[in-house]
Amino acid sequence: MNLTRRNFNRLAITSAATALIPRASAQSSERRLRYAIVGLGRISVNCFMPAIRASSTSEITALVSGSPEKARRLASQYGVPESSIYSYEQFDRIRENAEIDAVYIGLPNGMHAEYTIRAAHAGKHVLCEKPMATTEEEARAMIVACRHARRKLMIGYRCQLEATTLHVKQLIQSGQLGKIHSIESANGFNTPAGEWRLNRKLAGGGPLLDVGIYLLNACRFLLGEEPARVSAFSSVIDRDGRFDQVEETIAWTMKFPTGTIATCSTSYGADMEGFYRIHGSKGVITVQPAFSYLGIRMVGQIGEEPIDDPDKASFPDEFIRETDHFSRCVLEDRQPGPSGEEGLKDMEWIAQIYKSAAAQS
Amino acid sequence: MNLTRRNFNRLAITSAATALIPRASAQSSERRLRYAIVGLGRISVNCFMPAIRASSTSEITALVSGSPEKARRLASQYGVPESSIYSYEQFDRIRENAEIDAVYIGLPNGMHAEYTIRAAHAGKHVLCEKPMATTEEEARAMIVACRHARRKLMIGYRCQLEATTLHVKQLIQSGQLGKIHSIESANGFNTPAGEWRLNRKLAGGGPLLDVGIYLLNACRFLLGEEPARVSAFSSVIDRDGRFDQVEETIAWTMKFPTGTIATCSTSYGADMEGFYRIHGSKGVITVQPAFSYLGIRMVGQIGEEPIDDPDKASFPDEFIRETDHFSRCVLEDRQPGPSGEEGLKDMEWIAQIYKSAAAQS
């Protein structure tokens, strides 16, 4: 379990380590997309901001935080003027800041919709972390707000831009794995008490919305089709107060129109290094870790041929790729993907999964 | 995929190889249980008969086959007199053969009930391969027949006697893995056209009954509880005639009373090396291959402690253990396990799984 997202966060990325990530060459004369970072939690500070620093397409020109001290410290680190630090109350004033082209939303899930919509109203493009929102209604409102403001909206499904994931998709779509019969998958972690993830208002749901969504999105993305049917069970085993508001463990099965059956398990009660295994008529591949920030690895066999494809990327390449893609799309006026509509699809399926789990409880 | 049950059958066990398996010492003075082998297919010829040869508790004294030539060849190899070779039509005459204590039923699934019941009527104990039968009704009739005849009945769930499986069960039941949140599992193989497995009358069902039953039985056995709920999807992808009578792929989810959620996938359309992964609050273990005839291996991590526990057995140790257990129980008048009632439980759950798959199709 050495390469899980959380262990990686805890162990590998210290301020000292992030300081080692090289800045992109200052000599690039191309225009960069200028971001306001909204929310200075782990994913912003440890991943996205270092990625922007290393990117040649992007820069950080503003920070939005509820913690003035943390914001000032990071502003100084990233060369952001004090006048471009905003509290959440002041957020709408980003409209008047011409040095901001876009926002990166790294907030708790329950705040994604509000700040995406406010950003669009302020005339800024939006790169919003997954899950897009906590309900379908919120997701639709976000799409509408960005469309009305003629601003781009992208959802931070890193994996859809990640090399191993794209290799897997190519193996499936080219027919090299044969007909895909089943996918087994899991992703989760043992969540400590007190996290915003356990607060329904902030999180919007339990592990399904936060880490199970990786499995849902991977199955849909890799197979290139939408489920025909879903069925789910959820459960709470630990009666220690952590799970008074959200589910602890949920597993669901999706039957796809071509016949593939995918099973997915997610939990806040057990460390589950993200993995998926794909059984095709011509071969089998396992990706594990499948969703981490580095070290994604595919092993398996197609016919008699063994496969071992460890990702060669280093940290924070995945986030640089994501940043670059969004920035280039905005600068070149192209639609970035994964789109808001893609995020909405997951929200719709998550609603169906919760509905099935409730009906079968 | 080098150690799957089928590849192993195909590649490793030739007549030459089985001839190398040592005979048990002829000096043992203890009484041996005397078997009639019913059905001379792969599992009998490649596995069970060599195990009896190597065992010190058992011997083969009769053969029942539809192929006189094959029976004569094996009779000569195992020192069985020609007078103790029976066709299926002559089967009931085993009653008059005092050199037979028990039968081993290695027939296609659809014949298990009939020959178990006829064996009981003939006054013989029965060790019957899994799946016990093709329906709950058959399974109940088998239990009743053996009970009325005061004869022992055991179902050939090798894994319940296998060292790694028992180690996994101990890790769960002792609490070392913590609370068990989820199990993900799969088992299957790409079945060639023409196999009896694809014939509903002989097989009784598709991969669920034949290889999926390993997953069902493992979850029930390891957790030590019965599911509270099941939900299933089945599908046919290959419209090549193989799956006109039985399902091709089926996946089901079981929610257990303590809260564990287990997902299981099985298929006749893809080679799936049998595996299960158990996610507990204190650790994770993966067993793969999980159901093969040798090389069962557990890897994982409990707390910070990595686990790598490859089974040290050699072939056909698993079958010797099974034979010895049944033989000793009969010779000492103890009830052997896994019992008929255990086999019946699986048949009941299989009926529920098929019912759910039909309702959700």
Lowest mean pLDDT among A96-100, B127-131, B222-226, B291-295: B291-295
Lowest mean pLDDT among A25-29, B32-36, B226-230: A25-29
- Per-residue pLDDT, A339: 98
Instruction: With cut-offs at 50, 70 and 90, classify the pLDDT of residue A185.
Output: very high
- Per-residue pLDDT, A226: 98
Instruction: With cut-offs at 50, 70 and 90, classify the pLDDT of residue B37.
Output: very high
Question: Which chain B residue's Cα is nearest to A269?
Answer: B281
Give the residue from B4, B183, B184 with the most A CB atoms within 10 Å of its CB, the best one to mutate: B184
Strand A272-280 vs strand A180-188: parallel, antiparallel, or unpaired? antiparallel
| Amino acid residing at A66 | G
The rounded distance, in Å, linking the Cα atoms of B313 and B163 is 9
What is the dihedral sign for C-alpha B267, B272, B278, B279? negative
Contacts of A150 (CB under 8 A, 6+ apart): none
| Measured CA angle at A120 (ends A221, A28), to 5 deg | 75
- Per-residue pLDDT, A287: 98
Contacts of A65 (CB under 8 A, 6+ apart): A39, A40, A71, A85, A86, A87
Sheet containing A180-188: give its strands across: A229-235, A249-255, A261-267, A180-188, A272-280, A283-287, A297-302, A305-310
A251 contacts chain B (CB < 8 A): yes
**CA–CA distance from A285 to each of A171, A177, B295, B312 (Å)?**
10, 9, 21, 27
Q: What domains can you pick out in chain B, each with its CATH number? A: 12-157+318-337 (3.40.50.720), 163-312 (3.30.360.10)
Query: Which residues in chain A are closer than 8 Å to B303, comparing Cβ atoms?
Result: none
pLDDT in tens, A317-357: 999 999 999 999 999 999 999 999 999 999 999 999 999 99
User: Are the beta carbons of B184 and A273 separated by less than 8 Å?
Assistant: no
A181 contacts chain B (CB < 8 A): yes
Model confidence at B78: pLDDT above 60: yes
User: Are the beta carbons of A279 and B271 separated by less than 8 Å?
Assistant: yes
Say how many Å lie between the first and final Cα of chain A, rounded: 31
Instruction: With cut-offs at 50, 70 and 90, classify the pLDDT of residue B361.
Output: confident
For residue B217, give the H/E element and its range.
Answer: helix B213-223
Which region, left, alpha or beta, applies to residue B98 given φ > 0 means left and ψ of -120 to 50 means alpha? alpha
Q: What percent of chain B has pLDDT over 70?
A: 92
Token pair listed for B55: 């065992």
Which region, left, alpha or beta, applies to residue B330 given φ > 0 means left and ψ of -120 to 50 means alpha? alpha
Cβ(A313)–Cβ(A161) under 8 Å?
A: no
- Per-residue pLDDT, B22: 52
B18 contacts chain A (CB < 8 A): no
Query: Which residues in chain B are closer than 8 Å to A184, comparing Cβ atoms?
Result: 184-186, 263, 265
In chain A, positions 128-147, which contact chain B (CB-CB < 8 Å)?
none
Between residues B231 and A26, the one the model is more confident about: B231
Question: In this structure, what DSSP letter does residue A339 have?
Answer: B
B2 contacts chain A (CB < 8 A): no
> Would you name the residues of A annotated as active-site residues?
130, 214
Query: Which residues in chain A are closer than 8 Å to B190, comparing Cβ atoms?
Result: 281
Instruction: With cut-offs at 50, 70 and 90, classify the pLDDT of residue A22.
Output: low
| Measured CA angle at B49 (ends B48, B53), to 5 deg | 120
The rounded distance, in Å, linking the Cα atoms of A254 and A264 is 8
- Per-residue pLDDT, A6: 44
The DSSP code sequence of B155-214 is E--GGGG-HHHHHHHHHHHTTTT-SEEEEEEEEE--PPTT-GGG-HHHHSSSHIIIIIHH
Token pair listed for B270: 């893809």
Instruction: With cut-offs at 50, 70 and 90, classify the pLDDT of residue B310.
Output: confident
B260 contacts chain A (CB < 8 A): yes
For A4-25, what is the mean pLDDT?
A: 45
Q: Is B317 helix (H, G, I), strand (E, B) or coil?
A: helix
User: Are the beta carbons of A233 and B255 separated by less than 8 Å?
Assistant: yes
For A187-214, what is the mean pLDDT?
A: 95
Model confidence at A16: pLDDT above 70: no
Between residues A202 and A11, the one the model is more confident about: A202
Question: In this structure, what DSSP letter does residue A198 have?
Answer: G
Contacts of A162 (CB under 8 A, 6+ apart): A296, A311, A313, A318, A321
Q: Residue A110: which of A190, A203, A29 has the closest Cα?
A: A203
By CB atoms closer than 10 A (0-12, 13-18, 19+), residue A236 is: middle
Token pair listed for B146: 């053996």
Q: What percent of chain A has pLDDT over 90?
A: 89
What's chain B's average pLDDT?
Answer: 92
> Would you name the residues of B annotated as active-site residues?
130, 214
Model confidence at B11: pLDDT above 80: no
Tell me which residue in A181, A235, A270 faces B270 most closely, judged by beta carbons.
A181
- Per-residue pLDDT, A93: 98
User: Are the beta carbons of B181 and A271 separated by less than 8 Å?
Assistant: no
Query: Which residues in chain B are closer than 8 Å to A233, comparing Cβ atoms?
Result: 229, 231, 253, 255, 261
For B142-146, what is the mean pLDDT?
A: 98
The rounded distance, in Å, linking the Cα atoms of A113 and A121 is 12
Instruction: With cut-offs at 50, 70 and 90, classify the pLDDT of residue B1.
Output: very low
Interface size A-B, in CB pairs within 8 Å, comes to 157
Query: Which residues in chain A are closer than 8 Å to B251, comparing Cβ atoms?
Result: 182, 253, 261, 263
Lowest mean pLDDT among A7-16, B43-52, B241-250, B300-309: A7-16
The rounded distance, in Å, linking the Cα atoms of B237 and B268 is 10
Instruction: With cut-offs at 50, 70 and 90, classify the pLDDT of residue A221.
Output: very high
The pTM score is 0.92
What's chain A's average pLDDT?
Answer: 92
pLDDT in tens, A230-288: 999 999 999 999 999 999 999 999 999 999 999 999 999 999 999 999 999 999 999 99
The rounded distance, in Å, linking the Cα atoms of B36 and B126 is 10
Q: Is B46 helix (H, G, I), strand (E, B) or coil?
A: helix
Q: Is B328 helix (H, G, I), strand (E, B) or coil?
A: helix
Model confidence at A20: pLDDT above 90: no
**CA–CA distance from B149 to each of B121, B226, B238 (Å)?**
6, 29, 45
Q: What is the 3-state secondary structure (H, E, C) of B73-125?
A: HHHHHHCCCHHHEECCCCHHHHHHCCCCCEEEECCCHHHHHHHHHHHHHCCCE
pLDDT in tens, A64-123: 999 999 999 999 999 999 999 999 999 999 999 999 999 999 999 999 999 999 999 999
Instruction: With cut-offs at 50, 70 and 90, classify the pLDDT of residue A29.
Output: low
In chain B, positions 199-228, which contact chain A (CB-CB < 8 Å)?
none
Query: Which residues in chain B are closer than 8 Å to A271, comparing Cβ atoms?
Result: 279, 284
**CA–CA distance from B250 to each of A255, B200, B277 (Å)?**
10, 16, 18
B263 contacts chain A (CB < 8 A): yes
The DSSP code sequence of A20-89 is TSPPPPTT--S--EEEEEE--SHIIIIIIHHHHHH-SSEEEEEEE-S-HHHHHHHHHHHT--GGGEE-ST
Model confidence at B12: pLDDT above 60: no
Strand A297-302 vs strand B261-267: parallel, antiparallel, or unpaired? unpaired
Q: Is B143 helix (H, G, I), strand (E, B) or coil?
A: helix
User: Are the beta carbons of A255 and B237 separated by less than 8 Å?
Assistant: no
Lowest mean pLDDT among A27-36, A174-183, B158-167, B282-291: A27-36
User: Are the beta carbons of A249 and B181 separated by less than 8 Å?
Assistant: yes
